[in-house]
């Protein structure tokens, strides 16, 4: 109610808000009734206060604990399991908790309806689409209501037979003891597998589960001697968990190695590291970082329907399965392309019968990642690219900048809406024809960089810092170059500049950061190295993550810069080239480029 009143006061009344508030109230009332019924049953079957506390929590959180155990075990032992995929900007897939049990003390308050309550509804999504998106599944509401009524009925019947002399004595209600032991021991102990799968974590899991289970039995039976009587129950729990792990570790009865038949597939959705022009992310980038910037939505996600594309997905999928899930070693492999890094590769098959097969792979070889770039040349991707370029969202601002390849002379302009649409159509035309080789492994440097801002920024760095799209223009991008010349912008990427210094930093596959964690260099960023212009001390300090390899002599400047690239796919080793320049107006800039090392 407080949320409703605050929203009405701040944003005014809307029919859509009233509707979704009503659904939210239903959600909360149902949760409250479920909690009440669970606590009533716990009170009836418990003999002491401490029993009541543990029993009530275990009853209400039983489904949450089971899912927590399932998610942590499958993510550690079942390669390809999608159970721990998180909701992010590129993979619109709900977590297993919100998919199956939204009525939970721990998950319901984070539901879409809850988050949507705090909104001014400033969105270009149609009302019909919003209603469809926030459609409430009343079947779950009805099921929870019926279960709550059944539990209350059972509680009443048990209460009629409860005698006063049983109060403040151990009730010894075996089902409550077993449930509480299983929920607490298995769910909490399974958190150990967040650290990964190893002999150490398996042993630690059983030891931790044994300690928690022993504590529960001690609380319920009020004596160490009585624990021995329940040792058989714990043994059964342990053996069941062990058998479950072995089953998952060996592939889950063919689950991990299953790839649907091509002829039975209607479409495939897949994510992969790519899309250097950032069209997929609608300007969600941010400046900073030594070479890479995009910290949200780093994957491309496209839907493939052609037979050739589906066949390619299944072919690569089989290679991923054959490659297996080995531990990341945090060191460069030999050859470098065999290095395994952390990724978010998501594959969703939709069969002709409507059934879906979902897989998620968090670790993969760089060589396999590069094979996924094949989909940039599919008709589906080109259509997707053109649609994104033509999206009206792109015309929300008119900031436009032209720069030389070293981002030294960055000249900002204001474009008319018609001119920006025309420029985007030229960029889209040229970039949609790019090959994977030219896009990710260019043999030559770009001749200019076009920067488009997606938000009205107030500071003077607006067009080349936050929320900007960078387009690297090469000499064969004829449409864009012709447009720049026709508008008189071509002279601005040819302005003179002076190079002050060039430093080379060897880039390992993984970097040890200040938080005592190893991250692969592009862990939650793009796999491509992209040039960026530094404008703050924070950015320059990022170089502390890498060790200075070499400071170049002036006579080496031209050779090093010629071998460096503004955009390159990092499945090969290389150097971060830190270049300090002075622009035509005397302003100093620092920019990074990537210099690949040819392993052949």
- For 126-154, the pLDDT digits (tens) are 445 445 445 555 666 677 778 778 878 88
Confidence band of 227 (pLDDT split at 50, 70, 90): low
| Beta-carbon count within 10 A of 409 CB | 20
Cα distance from N-terminal residue to C-terminal residue, the chain: 67
- Return the domain boundaries, the chain: 1-47+104-164, 62-81+172-258, 262-386
Cα of 375 vs its chain's centroid, Å: 20
- Lowest-confidence region among 429-438, 563-572, 590-599: 590-599
Top pLDDT among 527 and 124 is at 527
Residue 337, pLDDT score: 85
Query: Can you tell me the mean pLDDT for 405-426?
Result: 83
Closest CA to 430 of 374, 473, 493: 473
CA dist 61 and 57 (Å) reads: 6
Q: Answer yes or no: are the C-beta atoms of 450 and 402 closer than 8 Å.
A: yes
Residue 266, pLDDT score: 93
For 590, the 3-state DSSP assignment is: strand
Query: Can you tell me the mean pLDDT for 346-370?
Result: 87
Edge-to-edge strand ranges of the sheet holding 299-304: 299-304, 265-273, 340-351, 356-365
Q: Is 518 buried (19+), middle (13-18) or exposed (0-12) by CB count in 10 A?
A: middle
Torsion of CA 398, 404, 407, 411, to 10 degrees: -40
CA dist 441 and 444 (Å) reads: 9
Characterize the bridge pairing of strands 588-596 and 356-365.
Answer: unpaired
CA dist 501 and 463 (Å) reads: 25
Edge-to-edge strand ranges of the sheet holding 399-403: 411-414, 399-403, 448-453, 468-473
Q: Answer yes or no: are the C-beta atoms of 339 and 239 closer than 8 Å.
A: no
Q: What is the pLDDT of residues 315-353, one digit of tens each?
A: 999 999 888 877 777 788 888 888 887 777 888 899 999
Closest CA to 590 of 543, 535, 511: 535
CA dist 182 and 585 (Å) reads: 71
Q: What is the pTM of this model?
A: 0.69
Half-sphere exposure of 596 (CA within 13 A, CB side): 22
């Amino acid at each position: 109610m407080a949320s409703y009143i605050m929203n009405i006061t701040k944003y005014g009344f809307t029919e859509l808000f009233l509707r979704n508030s009503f659904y939210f109230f239903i959600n909360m009332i149902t949760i409250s009734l479920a909690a009440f019924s669970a606590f009533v049953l716990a009170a009836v079957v418990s003999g002491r206060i401490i029993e009541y506390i543990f029993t009530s929590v275990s009853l209400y959180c039983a489904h949450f604990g089971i899912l927590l155990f399932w998610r942590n075990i499958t993510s550690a032992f079942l390669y390809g399991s999608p159970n721990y995929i998180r909701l992010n900007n590129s993979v619109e897939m709900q977590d297993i908790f919100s998919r199956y049990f939204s009525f939970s003390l721990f998950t319901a308050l984070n539901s879409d309806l809850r988050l949507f309550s705090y909104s001014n509804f400033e969105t270009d999504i149609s009302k019909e689409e919003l209603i469809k998106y926030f459609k409430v599944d009343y079947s779950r509401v009805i099921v929870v209501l019926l279960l709550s009524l059944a539990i209350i009925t059972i509680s009443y019947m048990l209460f009629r037979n409860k005698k006063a002399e049983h109060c403040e004595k151990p009730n010894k209600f075996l089902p409550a003891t077993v449930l509480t032991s299983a929920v607490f021991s298995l769910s909490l102990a399974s958190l150990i597998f967040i650290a990964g799968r190893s002999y150490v974590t398996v042993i630690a899991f059983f030891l931790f589960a044994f300690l928690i289970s022993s504590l529960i039995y001690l609380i319920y039976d009020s004596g160490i001697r009585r624990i021995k009587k329940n040792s058989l129950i714990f043994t059964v729990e342990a053996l069941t968990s062990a058998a479950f792990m072995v089953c998952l570790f060996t592939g889950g009865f063919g689950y991990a190695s299953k790839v649907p038949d091509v002829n039975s597939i209607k479409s495939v959705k897949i994510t992969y590291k790519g899309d250097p022009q950032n069209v997929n992310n609608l300007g969600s980038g941010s400046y900073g970082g030594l070479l890479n910037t995009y910290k949200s939505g780093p994957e491309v996600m496209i839907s493939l329907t052609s037979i050739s594309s589906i066949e390619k997905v299944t072919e690569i999928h089989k290679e991923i399965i054959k490659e297996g899930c080995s531990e990341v070693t945090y060191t460069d492999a030999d050859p470098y392309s065999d290095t395994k890094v952390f990724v978010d590769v998501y594959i969703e098959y939709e069969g002709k019968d409507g059934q879906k097969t979902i897989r998620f792979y968090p670790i993969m070889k760089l060589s396999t990642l590069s094979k996924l770039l094949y989909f940039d040349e599919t008709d589906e991707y080109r259509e997707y690219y053109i649609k994104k370029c033509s999206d009206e969202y792109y015309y929300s601002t008119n900031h436009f900048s032209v720069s030389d390849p070293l981002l030294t002379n960055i000249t900002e302009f204001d474009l008319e809406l018609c001119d920006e649409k025309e420029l985007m159509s030229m960029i889209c035309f040229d970039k949609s024809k790019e090959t994977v080789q030219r896009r990710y492994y260019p043999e030559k440097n770009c001749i200019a960089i076009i920067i488009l801002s997606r938000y009205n920024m107030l500071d003077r760095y607006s067009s080349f810092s936050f929320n900007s799209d960078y387009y690297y223009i090469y000499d064969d991008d004829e449409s864009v170059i012709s447009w720049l010349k026709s508008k008189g912008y071509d002279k601005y990427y040819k302005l003179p500049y002076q190079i002050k210094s060039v430093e080379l930093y060897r880039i390992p596959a993984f970097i040890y950061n200040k938080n005592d964690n190893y991250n692969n260099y592009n862990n939650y960023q793009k796999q491509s190295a992209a040039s960026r212009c530094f404008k703050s001390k924070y950015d320059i300090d990022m170089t502390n993550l890498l060790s200075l390899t070499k400071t170049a002599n002036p006579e080496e400047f031209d050779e090093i810069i010629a071998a460096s690239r503004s955009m390159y796919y990092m499945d090969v080793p290389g150097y971060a080239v830190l270049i300090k320049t002075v622009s035509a107006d005397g302003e100093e800039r620092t920019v990074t480029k990537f210099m690949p090392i040819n392993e052949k």
